[in-house]
Chains A and B, each alone.
Chain A
Amino acid sequence: MEYLLNQVVNGVCQGAIYALMAIGYSVIVGVVGMVTFTYGEIMMIGAFGAFYSFQYFGNNLPLAILLAFSSSFLLGIVVYKVCYEKFFNAPRHISLLCTIGFSMLMKNLAQIVFGPETKPMINIIHNETFTLRLAGVAVDFKLLQIIVMLLVVFFAVSLTLFFNRTRWGVALRAVSQNKQAAYLMGINVRRTAMLGNCIGCGFGGIAGILLSIYYYAVSATIWGNFSMKAFSASVLGGLVDLRLSALGGLCMGLIENLGITVSSATFRDVFSFSFLILILIIRPQGFAAKKGSRV
């Protein structure tokens, strides 16, 4: 029982990071209008940005997050210029293939530049554990987990506020809902789409640093898997709905960690992707309700 509850805590924490990944992914898909396959490398750049920040500027978490965000943001500009801008009026699969190619290039360049080995990222957050006793059952919270969850909530809330309260946010939502109508409003759709793409990427970068803090390591090769998880979580939420994507990420994290209580930790991905397939068989639209909105 105790083990199970502790796994729930782990699951929620990991799910929170997945949720942040999925939110970033959904923002990108929404404003650009198609799925991307460079997301893993975006997160990687964020993680390495943070790694070097820790190395050169010491143990400064806010600074590392800022650097992770901005390095992924900048890579987002590159991705946008290379993969989308030139192909706006071309068939969609061209951009899609372009993102796949860009992702391979980045993955291999990263191994040349950063090295192929796994780098440790330890003692970022003091290793402390709080124990909560409820009716004789002890549940452990690591300080790391608490900070990670708080950060995820903070960034998710600020993004929501940005989208709902600012003119830029409304413009981004307008672009993701109907590009042609957005043009007719006088919105510079390309520049807005680029900004949205970069914001999504920046959130990917933050998810990248949180993941590497969570796993105490950063490497250039593991990100394909996380990219697939971000994609799956966002599919669960119907691809463009931020809240439901976050819910999808949370569910995947929970299912993974509950799954490995009954089997080995190497089967982690089996559980999350089976969950995805199961949900999609039952509800092809994901968690999204088919609201009767007339367009």
Chain B
Amino acid sequence: MSQTMLKVENLTVYYGYINALSHVNIEVNEGEIITLIGGNGAGKTTTLMSISNLVEKAEGKVTFRTTDITRTQPDKIVKLGMSHVPEGRKIFPQLTVYENLIAGTFGQPKISKPRIAELVEENYVLFPRLKERAKQPGGSLSGGEQQMLAIARGLMMDPALIMLDEPSLGLAPIIVEEIFELIRKIRSRGKTVLLIEQNASMALSIADRGYVLETGRVTLTGTGRELLVNPEVKRAYLGV
């Protein structure tokens, strides 16, 4: 088995009095696609946000490779090689597509110009449509293009681990397929992917392993294929 990339132990988060996550354990190994599925309010996004330290943790430990990042500032976490593509895309609407991509490199202040150009070029190969629209403001793109921009921006950090929060949210089925195809491609470029999805069937079909979250707890875990045929999952998330 390859190395552990990200280890979340005993993670507990409160929003006021509400227990959003209790004792969540997740492990991501290098080169894997791991998916976290669950319904609305199950705590998927909260899990990612607390890994990136955007919400306060009540308990638990997060380790990235060998570094303890439980209390590390969000911008420092990025510098370690972990990028978080937030839910709802959150691109910068008034920056141009190119500037949005450049914004992805701010985590590494010492990055050289040729390296930036190289990364931009790599992303243009993955997302040819962004190249056509490089000079347009990000806010003028369609939903699917914005999602691609958000992912591309995340890849500009040249991360070892990329965490995607509901990349298929609100997109047409054909675009969703395109996005999942991209996720595969991203993995084949040597990145590890932690994917959060409501679209359980799609997510599980490309994932190596999956975790099912329900009201803040991990209730099931297994390989993508196991979970796809699991009767519980089928009933609750696949609508079969």
A residues adjacent to B (C-beta < 8 A): 167, 170-171, 173-174, 177-178, 180-189, 291, 293-295
Q: Does B69 have its Cβ within 8 Å of any Cβ on chain A?
A: no
- Shortest beta-carbon contacts, A-B, top 3: A186-B107, A293-B139, A186-B78
Q: Tell me whether A185 and B137 are in contact (CB under 8 A).
A: no
Q: Tell me whether A173 and B146 are in contact (CB under 8 A).
A: no
Instruction: Choose from A173, A183, A189, A294 the contact partner of B92 (Cβ within 8 Å).
Output: A173
Q: Tell me whether A184 and B83 are in contact (CB under 8 A).
A: yes
Q: Which residues of B contact A188 (CB under 8 A)?
A: 75
Q: Tell me whether A185 and B139 are in contact (CB under 8 A).
A: no
Q: Tell me whether A178 and B90 are in contact (CB under 8 A).
A: yes
A295 to B86, CA, bound (A): 12
Q: Determine the residue in chain A with the shortest Cβ distance to B102.
A: A170
Q: Which residues of A contact B139 (CB under 8 A)?
A: 291, 293-295
Q: Does B108 have its Cβ within 8 Å of any Cβ on chain A?
A: yes
Instruction: Choose from B54, B103, B140, B142 the contact partner of A174 (Cβ within 8 Å).
Output: B103
Q: Does B153 have its Cβ within 8 Å of any Cβ on chain A?
A: yes
Instruction: Choose from B54, B84, B92 the contact partner of A178 (Cβ within 8 Å).
Output: B92
A120 to B86, CA, bound (A): 56
Q: Tell me whether B94 and A177 are in contact (CB under 8 A).
A: yes
B29 to chain A, nearest CB (A): 23
B158 to chain A, nearest CB (A): 11
Residues of B within 8 A of A (CB-CB), count:
33
Q: Tell me whether B104 and A180 are in contact (CB under 8 A).
A: no
Contacts A181-B91, A291-B139, A293-B140 supplied; 18 other A-B pairs, CB < 8 Å = A167-B106, A170-B99, A170-B102, A178-B92, A180-B90, A183-B74, A184-B54, A184-B84, A185-B78, A185-B106, A186-B76, A186-B79, A186-B108, A187-B103, A187-B106, A293-B137, A294-B143, A294-B146
Q: Does B12 have its Cβ within 8 Å of any Cβ on chain A?
A: no
Q: Which residues of A contact B103 (CB under 8 A)?
A: 170-171, 174, 182, 185, 187
A291 to B106, CA, bound (A): 28
Q: Tell me whether B157 and A185 are in contact (CB under 8 A).
A: yes
Q: Tell me whether A174 and B93 are in contact (CB under 8 A).
A: no
List 6 A–B pairs whose Cβ atoms lie within 8 Å, in order of A's numbering.
Answer: A170-B99, A185-B75, A185-B106, A186-B76, A293-B93, A294-B139
A188 to B139, CA, bound (A): 23
Q: Tell me whether B54 and A183 are in contact (CB under 8 A).
A: yes
Q: Tell me whether A171 and B74 are in contact (CB under 8 A).
A: no
Instruction: Choose from B79, B86, B102, B108 the contact partner of A181 (Cβ within 8 Å).
Output: B86
Beyond A184-B74, A186-B78, A293-B140, whether A173 also contacts B102 by CB under 8 A is no
B residues adjacent to A (C-beta < 8 A): 52, 54, 74-76, 78-79, 83-86, 90-95, 99, 102-104, 106-108, 137, 139-143, 146, 153, 157
A167 to chain B, nearest CB (A): 7
B48 to chain A, nearest CB (A): 10
Q: For chains A and B in complex, what number of residue pairs have CB atoms within 8 angstroms?
A: 83
Residues of A contacting B: mostly: helix
Q: Tell me whether A293 and B94 are in contact (CB under 8 A).
A: yes
Q: Determine the residue in chain A with the shortest Cβ distance to B79.
A: A186
B137 to chain A, nearest CB (A): 7
B233 to chain A, nearest CB (A): 30
Q: Determine the residue in chain A with the shortest Cβ distance to B157.
A: A186
Q: Which residues of A contact B146 (CB under 8 A)?
A: 294
Beyond A183-B75, A184-B78, A185-B78, whether A173 also contacts B90 by CB under 8 A is no
A180 to B49, CA, bound (A): 10
A160 to B52, CA, bound (A): 33
Instruction: Choose from B95, B106, B140, B143 the contact partner of A186 (Cβ within 8 Å).
Output: B106
Q: Tell me whether A184 and B99 are in contact (CB under 8 A).
A: no
Beyond A185-B104, A188-B75, A291-B139, whether A170 also contacts B93 by CB under 8 A is no
B239 to chain A, nearest CB (A): 29
Q: Tell me whether A174 and B95 are in contact (CB under 8 A).
A: yes
Q: Determine the residue in chain B with the shortest Cβ distance to A241.
A: B94
Q: Determine the residue in chain A with the shortest Cβ distance to B153.
A: A185
Q: Which residues of A contact B102 (CB under 8 A)?
A: 167, 170
Q: Determine the residue in chain A with the shortest Cβ distance to B88.
A: A295
Q: Tell me whether B86 and A180 are in contact (CB under 8 A).
A: yes
A176 to chain B, nearest CB (A): 9
